[in-house]
Structures are given as structure tokens and as C-alpha cells.
Amino acid sequence: MARLALESMPGPVVITDLAGRIVYLNRAGEAAMGVRREEVLHRPLVEAFYKGEKFDAKGRYRSPVLETLETGKEFPGGILEIRAFPHALPKLYLVHTFFVREESGEVAGVCGIYNDLMQSRELTRKAVLNRLVTISQQFETIYAFAEAIGARDPYTMGHCEKVAEYARLIAEAMGLGEKEISLAYICGIVHDVGKIGVPESILNKPGSLTKEEFAYITLHPEKGASILSHISWLEDVVPVVLAHHERYDGGGYPMGLKGEEIPLLSRILAVADAFDAMTSDRSYRKALPLPVAVQELKRHAGKQFDPQVVEAFLEIIGHLV
Ligand SMILES: [Fe+2]
């Protein structure tokens, strides 16, 4: 039964012995890595999955399981970018690693559990809906808003869900309460609702915008806040959406708020929003590699972004930094 549970996990699970040899790989692991388990069982993980190359070009461990095995550091849930095949698109996983112990307490190996962030977003969405069951119908209205934008701009739809998930993780990492954590997620979903008022030709324009076009875009926080202000149970969301393009140094819009004048959830959204924008392919440019996006966040900490929010996000990104 326990084995069946591992087999049925939606994300990859891999277990190695103390010599780093694979002793277990579940079905999702086979699919993610593009291997059959008979081919990799009892082989060293570094050879089976990483062609014997333990470290990447910057000297970081390619495998969190191996890092745990060799350094003793367990990962309690960091975001990792993993490329299953050399030409595959990298996927973001929430990774947990820990030592597997005998009943006597003796360490027998290391287990790594990977949750596809796309899938966990789906779970989060359901969890948030369940928690808000009494107002779930209203919440569905919000998804309808997000989808209405998505129908005009498919990028924005997926973007909102990722921003929501990052914002939720940051709020959690900063030790905020349950209500604020849910609120962070909801704000992520609806933050760009005001783009509904931006003409499609501007929204999907490849290349740079004219001054007038940019002016149109900058109206979307106010438009969004105004739309959402009609929904009474979303009153806490309105100021957050209104301020999601404010900058920590005061150079943002629409009000030019500075530092702690900007609501904390807006400061969280700003980091989540920028990170997803940098790591997504757009019509006018390719996605930046994760480490470059992380460098950009660090570079703008204290200027565009609240340094404490950046710090919390870097904690989630974990050892990739
Ligand atoms: Fe926005």
C-alpha cells in the first residue's frame, strides 16, 4: 500500500541509498526524466540522470537529492528549475528532500519529492476555493474576470496564476497569517484585471510602445481597482491592486508611493509579477534563464523592490541563487 501511494504520487519521487544509487523511482519520475526504471535502478543517480556531471557550470549541485546526501542539507520545499531532457523546456518544481531513516534512527538513504508547480497551482486554487466555500461563487466571478482577460491575451491568464502562486509562497515565507496568505493569492489572480480596458492592439504589441500607448497601460491599476471596488467582499484587495506598480524607491505609478507607504501585499505582488514576466517567453523576447532573473531581482532590491520581499523570495528559490 505504501509503495502504491508513492507510485500514485502526481510528481516524481526518487530514493537513493547512501552510495547515491537509485533504489526507487516512481511512475511520474519515469515520465519526467524520460527513462524506464529498469534502466536506472541500482545505477548512481549522477550517471543515470546527469551523465556523471554532478555540478553545473557554476559549481552548483544539479540534483538536490545528491546535495542532501553529500552536504546533509535537507530541502524543505524550495523552487527548482529542472530540465528533464537536454532540449526540453525547464519546468519549475517545488522540491522536498530528506533523509530516509531505519527504525533504529540510522540513515539509509535520501528521498526527493518533486511537485510540478503547474499542478500545485491547480491544488492551491482548489484549496483556496474550499476555504472560501461560503463565497466560492463570488470567487468564481474573479476567475471569470481573469479568463476574460486571458481570452484577449493568453499570456496574462497563465501569468496571473503564476504570480498568485509566487505571491502566496512569499507571504507564507514572510510569516504572514492565513488570511493574508489567501489574500496574496487572490490579489495575484486579479491584479491585472484592469487590462480589460487596454486595447488589444497595445496589449499584444510586439516591440516597444509609444508614449501614448504606455500611458494607456499605466491606467490599468486604477481601472482594476475601480472594477473590483464594486465587489464588497473584495474591499481588502482594492488598495493592493491599485498599488501593484508602485516602486519601493517612489518611482512607480499611479501615486508614486514610497517604501512602507505601499501596502505589503502590493510590494509582494511587484516581486512575483516581475519574476514571472522575466522568466516567461513573450512575443517580443525569450524568457531569461532563472539565475539571470534572480540577479535582476537582487540588483533592483531597495530600488524597484522591497529588499525584505526579495530576500523572502530568494529563500524560496533556495540554493539556485
Ligand atoms: Fe500589472
Q: Ligand 1: distance of its center to the CA of 220 in Å?
A: 7
Average pLDDT, integer, range 11-15: 91
Q: What is the pLDDT of residue 22?
A: 95
Query: CATH code at 198?
Result: 1.10.3210.10
Structural domain ending residue among the three candidates 72, 88, 116: 116
Same domain, 254 and 174: yes
The four Cα atoms 219, 220, 222, 223 give a dihedral, to 10 degrees, of: 110
Listed in sequence order, the DSSP H helices in 204-289 are 211-217, 220-228, 237-242, 264-278
pLDDT higher at 266 or 197: 266
Q: Ligand 1: distance of its center to the CA of 192 in Å?
A: 5
Share of the chain above pLDDT 70, in %: 81
Q: Ligand 1: distance of its center to the CA of 156 in Å?
A: 9
286 three-state secondary structure:
coil
Q: How do the residues of the chain divide into helix, strand and coil, expressed in percent and rounded to 5?
A: 55, 15, 30
Omega cis (within 30) before 10? no
For residue 87, being part of any structural domain is answered with yes
For residue 198, being part of any structural domain is answered with yes
Same domain, 263 and 158: yes
Same domain, 39 and 104: yes
Q: Ligand 1: distance of its center to the CA of 56 in Å?
A: 35
Same domain, 286 and 146: yes
Q: Ligand 1: distance of its center to the CA of 188 in Å?
A: 10
Q: Ligand 1: distance of its center to the CA of 242 in Å?
A: 9
Average pLDDT, integer, range 121-134: 56
Band the pLDDT of 242: cuts 50, 70, 90.
very high
In contact, 19 and 27? CB cutoff 8 Å:
no
Same domain, 139 and 281: yes
Same domain, 248 and 100: no
Is the pTM for the entire model greater than 0.85? Answer: no
**Could you report the per-residue pLDDT of 179-197, keeping only the tens digit for each?**
898 899 889 988 988 888 7
Same domain, 172 and 205: yes
**Could you report the per-residue pLDDT of 33-68, keeping only the tens digit for each?**
888 989 999 999 999 888 888 887 767 788 889 999
Q: Ligand 1: distance of its center to the CA of 221 in Å?
A: 6
Same domain, 109 and 139: no
Structural domain ending residue among the three candidates 116, 144, 161: 116
Domain count, the chain: 2
Q: Ligand 1: distance of its center to the CA of 116 in Å?
A: 25
Q: Ligand 1: distance of its center to the CA of 191 in Å?
A: 6
For residue 128, being part of any structural domain is answered with no
Residue 319: pLDDT above 50? no
Q: What is the pLDDT of residue 100?
A: 92
* β-bridge pairing 22-25 and 76-82: unpaired
**Could you report the per-residue pLDDT of 223-236, keeping only the tens digit for each?**
999 988 888 778 89
Q: What is the pLDDT of residue 59?
A: 77
Other residues' Cβ atoms within 10 Å of the Cβ of residue 127: 14
Q: Ligand 1: distance of its center to the CA of 90 in Å?
A: 25
Q: What is the pLDDT of residue 89?
A: 53
Q: What is the pLDDT of residue 68?
A: 93
Q: Ligand 1: distance of its center to the CA of 245 in Å?
A: 6
Quote the domain boundaries for residue 224: 135-319
Band the pLDDT of 86: cuts 50, 70, 90.
very low
Total count of residues recorded for the chain? 321
In contact, 160 and 191? CB cutoff 8 Å:
yes
Query: How is residue 27 written as a grid cell?
Result: 511512475
Residue 134: pLDDT above 70? no
Q: What is the pLDDT of residue 273?
A: 94
